[in-house]
């Protein structure tokens, strides 16, 4: 295993996000998008100019995917601007459309009946076929209640129908990812009591995971498993929260390398750049703690891992217009 030092990470933006999550590279715009969950913000960074801006949602945003269905309806023009997006918020799945005044128009697409008060969506993304997957969690992590669940939204229902949980008994679902052929799904639980990554057989025709098995037990490795990405070689990259590392695991679960970032809490990673050979990493800026040893906490960083990633799938379901 090789570990690089913090200087290998380049600061993209000193964003100071409370919880920077769900980075998505938009190839047509050559721009990176991500969210700050507690601030309810969708961020955008333009790679050519370095310009950054954000929009604010009515609820906390946890995860996003480009709305390819709306893009197709617009003849491709929707992919040349800052939206729309499919997103997991607090109360369900929404379509988000940025407005000129810096706010987000949020149209509900699917609701969720949370198992307890004080829950929201957390990590999520589309599978290779364009179905949107996202997990829910209790915001009070100290309670350690396994009331979280994993949901799939494919837009089949007309109107904001309730989603049905496909996996239950999760505390902090995280680390969603899909192999290059789409036939393996990865999922982690980043709570300190769990710290596991699982692999599933994935039916690409029906969008059904099965054959759950332990992929990586991270209790013996530095950092809790947080957000993830899969590269073109089929290797699984996952942020080691609390350890300032991003780990790469081979498809057989072997730790291949670890790359360092200059903050303690990297949250999620995504491949981007013109050649998809840059690994962007969002991070968390903890409140009420001394940040003198990590002044860039909450920032977005770029790593050069020496491998290429895969394009992030857009939502391809039939979401209501």
Tokens standing for residue 159? 């109107």
- Please choose, from the candidates 35, 50, 45, the residue with its C-alpha nearest in 3D space to the C-alpha of residue 106: 35
Residues assigned a catalytic role: 226
Asked if residue 258 lies in contact with residue 236, where contact means CB atoms within 8 angstroms, the answer is no
Distance CA 181, CA 204 (A): 9
The C-alpha R_g of the chain, in whole angstroms, comes to 18
Distance CA 216, CA 223 (A): 12
Residue 21, beta-bridge partner list:
35
Residues shown for the chain: 321
């Amino acid at each position: 295993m090789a570990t690089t030092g913090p200087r290998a990470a380049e600061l993209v933006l000193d964003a100071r996000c409370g919880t920077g999550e769900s980075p998505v590279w938009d190839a047509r715009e050559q721009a990176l998008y991500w969210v700050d969950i507690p601030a309810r913000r969708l961020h955008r960074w333009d790679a050519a100019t370095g310009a950054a801006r954000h929009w604010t949602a009515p609820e906390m945003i946890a995860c996003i995917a480009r709305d390819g269905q709306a893009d197709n309806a617009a003849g491709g023009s929707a992919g040349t601007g800052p939206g729309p997006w499919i997103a997991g918020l607090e109360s369900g799945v929404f379509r988000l459309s940025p407005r000129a005044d810096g706010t987000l128009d949020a149209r509900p697409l699917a609701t969720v009946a949370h198992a307890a008060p004080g829950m929201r969506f957390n990590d999520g993304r589309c599978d290779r076929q364009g179905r949107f997957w996202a997990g829910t969690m209790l915001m009070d992590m100290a309670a350690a209640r396994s009331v979280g669940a994993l949901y799939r939204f494919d837009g089949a229902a007309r109107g904001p129908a309730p989603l049905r949980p496909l996996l239950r008994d999760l505390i902090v679902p995280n680390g969603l990812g899909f192999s290059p052929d789409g036939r393996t799904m990865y999922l982690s639980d980043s709570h300190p009591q769990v710290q596991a990554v699982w692999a599933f057989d994935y039916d690409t025709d029906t969008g059904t995971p099965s054959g759950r098995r332990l992929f990586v037990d991270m209790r013996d490795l530095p950092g809790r498993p947080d957000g993830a990405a899969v590269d073109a070689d089929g290797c699984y990259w996952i942020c080691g929260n609390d350890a300032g590392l991003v780990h790469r695991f081979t498809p057989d679960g072997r730790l291949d390398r670890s790359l360092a970032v200059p903050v303690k809490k990297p949250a999620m990673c995504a491949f981007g750049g013109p050649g998809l050979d840059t690994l962007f990493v969002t991070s968390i800026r903890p409140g009420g703690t001394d940040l003198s040893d990590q002044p860039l906490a909450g920032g977005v960083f770029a790593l050069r891992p020496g491998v290429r990633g895969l394009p992030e799938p857009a939502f391809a379901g039939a979401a209501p217009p």
